[in-house]
A and B are shown apart, each in its own frame.
Chain A
């Protein structure tokens, strides 16, 4: 299946009809999730500001998920030399950078009323900031290598080495003292967060996921087209 889809041409023909549906589902989920977020009860300590959670936490999830996808794509591009994997890693990097920036920004806006500070150099925030810098470095490295194949290879190595940051982010709240709370969704024995707040969070998480996939397919398709265009131009220049 994966090998069958790894042909960029075939991938585009499969992905293009799916794409509008992804966008529609993302929009519907976003509306539903936002409605739920505003209907959910206020936190007994945080009051209204707890609602920032519903846009902050999914953004942080996506920041990490996108880097994970980038790592997997880089691996396949580097080891099995799938052209589609190279294009996928390149296409998804800016999406991840934006989600990371969103997580940092909303976190900062949430931190001010709750912790009394815009920023605290705790393990979680520092490691997510480093994740953002990794994204920037990845994009900059890709942009500065002219040859597409070399760029794909070098950035894939960088992305794979940078994967080490993901577990650091995940466990940062356990390893170091932090203003961030410990894990409350993905924990052994089920989530510890109240159901009335859990459900809006799940819906928003799904909405972000579909939004990410939708944007990813758009960017990937234009990357494939871009490559085709460049290949055609190179061929024309030869004649």
Chain B
């Protein structure tokens, strides 16, 4: 590829990212995220837009299921490897460590904890969720590869629980990210969590745990709800 060609590509990318930046309403941009000119290692001056250069600006896409037999086999395989993101949001996160002990032992069900969203396909929202945490949850959820599942633990994720009148915690999780399985209780015991994993496995095997597709389908609606409460939206619209 010639030099001219590269430059035109770069120009095109810059224009696209600037357009993206204009389209999204940003009022709380951190100084390090602002569109600016920097000096590259080779001495040339380049324009960067950190929010859009480092992340994909593309919307999530719906994935159509493959033919029935293949999909059934895939779903069986998926249901046997549920890898949970190690992310605790509320008081419920203290119910997760006992699952890794020999007494409850979630490994026998094919469930294990992973340290990064890139390696996990299940997200446990463990209890109350403040707006500040919701922002991180959305960011982590969108970084997880599809198919992905969300387990909502505790009554706070269902109707707000004892924090229903708090100014900083959300009431209904399913307005912001799609939820596959709810586990009611305040707090649910680790056995209830294991039952929830069992339910999730059933749903996956039946092919009903398609919430990642639902998120892609109703992406605008979810985004609008998220942006309504996250006033300082200083991240790209899609964090993949």
Q: Do A and B come from one complex?
A: no
Which residues of A line the B interface, CB within 8 A?
A: none
